[in-house]
Amino acid sequence: TDKLHIEVPSPDTDLVETGLLDSLRFVELLAHLEETFDLTVSVDDIEVEHFRTTARIAEFIARRLPRLRAEGAA
């Protein structure tokens, strides 16, 4: 959240409901995740529930990274 310049009180704070994550910041978040973790977020992955809290964002990344490692090893 430092890159997005937002202060999140806790990992379970609802970023959407509190207005911390609007549409512009959401696009910035996706770009940051793709660059930082060398992953591609597909249209099918874009569900608000994956990005509602920082805890859910971390879970989303954790689920994607093993799959990306497996694809890279193939």
- The dihedral over CA atoms of 6, 7, 13, 16, expressed in degrees to the nearest 10, equals -20
How long a stretch of residues is the chain? Answer: 74
Cα 9 to Cα 34: distance, rounded to the nearest angstrom: 24
| Domain membership flag for residue 18 | no
Give the chain's domain count: 1
Instruction: Tell me the pLDDT of the chain (74 aa) as tens digits.
Output: 556 677 888 999 999 999 999 999 999 999 999 999 988 899 999 999 999 999 999 999 998 887 656 665 55
Domain that holds residue 51: 23-73
All residues at 6 or more sequence positions from 38 whose CB lies less than 8 Å from its CB, including other chains: 68
pTM equals 0.78
Contact present, 54 and 8 (Cβ < 8 Å): yes
| Domain membership flag for residue 67 | yes
| Domain membership flag for residue 2 | no
